[in-house]
Amino acid sequence: MDVIAAVVREHAAPFTIEDVRLDDPQSDEILVRVVAVGICHTDLAVQRGHIPVPLPAVLGHEGAGIVEAVGTGVVDLSPGDHVILSQALCGSCARCTGGEPAYCEHAARLSLGGRREDGTTPISDGDGPISSNFVGQSSFATSAIVKARNAFRIDDDLPLATLAPIGCGVMTGAGAVVNDGGIAPGDAVAVFGCGTVGLAAIMAAKVLQAERIIAVDVNAARLELAAKLGATDTLAVGDAAVADVHRLTGGGVDLAVEAAGSPAAATAAIGSTHTRGRTVIVGAAPFGSTLDVDWWTLAAGRTVQGSVIGSSNPPVDIARLVQWWRDGELPIEDLETRYRFDEINDAVIAMAAGDVVKPVIVMDASGGGTATSDRSASSGANPEKSHPPASATESRNHRA
């Protein structure tokens, strides 16, 4: 079938909106009409050449949409189902079968290789194959071919455009606290980096009743948004940030989350914990980055853990986050600014500049947009943005 996709053909080049060909789903795949897709910094990293993916490629990995067709072997999903899409995983390795799909032994190849396990790609044009299956999705397109195991059904009354970023950025930040953080009510938490991942971590820490939640960022408007979402204290990035965390907490936090993808932020996060504190590094630094930590900072008893997608198990974590949203405890719409598909390059520029936190591309059947974009937001704080007339404004108070 013919679909419209945003294609990256050269590193550092803009996305081009093109007509491409999409094959029918294989036996374990589904065809999803993409309703909305968030833009993640990982998409930008690939576009810039910081993460290797064969080009030309269709990126996008925070998709949500409606199932249009299923392969012959798919039994758990049907046409018409509303789904949130998430990470690529094999489903059969020791990590996947052991309940740790975030650490699938084949995730890197499946996410970044541009091909299915059998070496094929369902996307092509007149010049030949186009890399697909990006993080299991390639959802910068009006339709996507996705493994059924990467799609998670939600109730039809839920707003797909609002919930799309749950599949990666929101789940990553919340998971770093819920799955990796080990915090208890009354604990102190510091979050370094207040993009989507960091703000999701702040919201999760609030749900888990952390007593003190300290947000650290360079962007004043993002710190303002962090305070709205649950941060009890905000600090500007600088030489005094670590000392300020210790001063505010009387000795350091129980948990620090590095969500900036910056080695300097990671070093600061580790230094902000007390001697038995934990640091979760969940930000995505460029390949080859190294971490400079004084030996005795760790030898004093601190713990540092890397985290992939917040160590999430999508069926469990997506359901939890959707329920938090229903309960009003995860207002991710406060992070979002919506764009039409043909505005994707504008969205990328705004995100790279720090002017918006989470751009969400909202599609219609022809590849255009149904959203009214709001450009009044500054540096990610967008409290008065308007929503599409679809179900984004529907009540949360429906049965999960």
List where CATH 3.40.50.720 sits in the chain.
Answer: 173-308
Mean of per-residue pLDDT scores for the chain: 90
pLDDT at 285: 84
Question: 229 — phi, psi (to 5°)?
Answer: -90, -5
- 291 versus 367: the higher-pLDDT residue is 291
pTM: 0.90
Q: What is the length of the chain?
A: 400
Q: Tens digits of per-residue pLDDT, 71-101?
A: 999 999 999 999 999 999 999 999 999 999 9
So what's the pLDDT on residue 239? 83
How high is the pLDDT of residue 338?
97
Amino acid 395: pLDDT: 32
- Residues 164-181, mean pLDDT to the nearest whole number: 97
CA distance 242 to 238: 8
- Inform me whether the pLDDT recorded for 386 exceeds 90: no
Cα distance between residue 31 and residue 142, in whole Å: 11
Q: Please give the distance of CA 53 from its chain centroid, rounded to a whole number.
A: 18
Residues 208, 183: contact at Cβ < 8 Å?
A: yes
pLDDT score of 288: 85
Q: What are phi and psi of 267, to 5 degrees?
A: -60, -45
Rounded to an integer, the average pLDDT of 349-374 is 72
Q: How far is CA 210 from the centre of its chain?
A: 23
- Residue with more model confidence, 62 or 372: 62
What is residue 148's predicted lDDT score, i.e. its pLDDT? 97
Q: Where in the chain is the domain with CATH 3.90.180.10?
A: 2-167+331-393
- Residue 43, both tokens: 């998409």
Q: What is the pLDDT of residues 16-49, one digit of tens each?
A: 999 999 999 999 999 999 999 999 999 999 999 9
What band does 388 get if pLDDT is binned at 50, 70 and 90?
A: very low
φ, ψ of residue 367 to 5 degrees: the values are 100, 0
Q: Does the structure show a pLDDT above 50 at 208?
A: yes
- The CATH superfamily of 2-167+331-393 is Medium-chain alcohol dehydrogenases, catalytic domain (3.90.180.10)
Dihedral class, residue 309 (left if φ above 0, else alpha if ψ from -120 to 50, else beta): left
Tokens describing residue 121: 């790609």
Provide the pLDDT for residue 291: 92
Regarding the domain delimited by 173-308, which CATH topology (the fold level of the hierarchy) does it fall under?
Rossmann fold (3.40.50)
Within 10 angstroms of residue 28's Cβ, the number of other Cβ atoms is: 16
